[in-house]
Amino acid sequence: MARVFIDGEAGTTGLLIRELLAPRADIEIVSIDPGKRKDAGAKAELLAGVDCVVLCLPDDAAKETVALADGLGARAPKILDASTAHRIAPGWVYGFAELAAGQGDLIANASRVANPGCYATGAIALLRPLIEAGLIAADHPVTINAVSGYSGGGKSMIADYEARRAPDFELYALGLEHKHIPEIQAYSKLARRALFAPSVADFKQGMIVSIPLHLDLLPGSPSSADLEAALIAHYGDRGFVKVLAGAALADEGGKLEPEALNDTNAMELRVHSNDARNHAVLTARLDNLGKGASRAAVQNLELMLGL
């Protein structure tokens, strides 16, 4: 039985990870005495006795726990970090198993894995295959729009929405410095920084990430079918990512709602198009708490522990 410590188990991501792991017979969840959460010695002792620690903490607190683990030498556990702190840090493996062939093996063999951001998961899933296929230039001026359920905003946002103090919809991060941009650029293989406009709406969970494209401005003026084929070739039947095409798109009648994949680890990719206008919109639909957070963490944990 693998022993797992969730550091920050009272937060939204940590609570769901604990809920998903609790019924399992192959994992024992280890907790720290609440009164000793800030006791470095007590935490170091606990870390030395587990196989993996999952960090569901603010970035600075995550770095502190990693420093404690590093001080344990050979007794240090594997670390899966759900914060932003290590997503592009040297020595850390990016925890998106479907990213590329062999990525799951890298995660399985890693001692330090960074769980992806929710928006970043959708954006990278759409962009990486198309950039690698040469259908989008690495220096293309990419615009990414996204809407998420309010559960991704943490305890205060959840409280505001559930108390009806929050607006039905709002754009945010309009300083254009959202914390997911660095990992989107790094793992999409973009040479030019993307313009990212996230938003939140009055539904608890679910997410759509969308990327509009002028097809005639892309290398070789590809058709929407070319984009779709590249996505299908990249993902195939790999993991939890599915490319929807043809009849599946027609049946949706030109509409897409964000909550259909809630409580799953699935992600759906689509190419919506008007070839007569040379226009396309790429979309990724996922659960911001699922493939965008806690369920992706459990997927990575299984790989890291060989479960």
Catalytic residues: 118
Distance from C-alpha of 119 to C-alpha of 148, rounded to nearest angstrom: 8
Longest Cα–Cα distance of the chain, Å, equals 65
Residue 110 CB coordination number (10 Å): 20
Which token pair is 203? 């539904």
Which token pair is 218? 């892309």
HEC per residue, 185-213: HHHHCCCCCCEEEEEEECCCCCEEEEEEE
Distance from C-alpha of 214 to C-alpha of 44, rounded to nearest angstrom: 53
Residue 276 neighbours by CB under 8 Å, 6+ apart: none
Q: Identify the CA nearest to 283 among candidates 226, 234, 210.
A: 210
Q: What are 94's strand-pairing partners?
A: 114
First-to-final CA distance of the chain: 10
Distance from C-alpha of 195 to C-alpha of 185, rounded to nearest angstrom: 10
Q: Identify the CA nearest to 298 among candidates 271, 264, 268.
A: 264
Length of the chain in terms of residues written: 307
> 102: buried, middle or exposed (CB in 10 Å: 19+, 13-18, 0-12)?
exposed
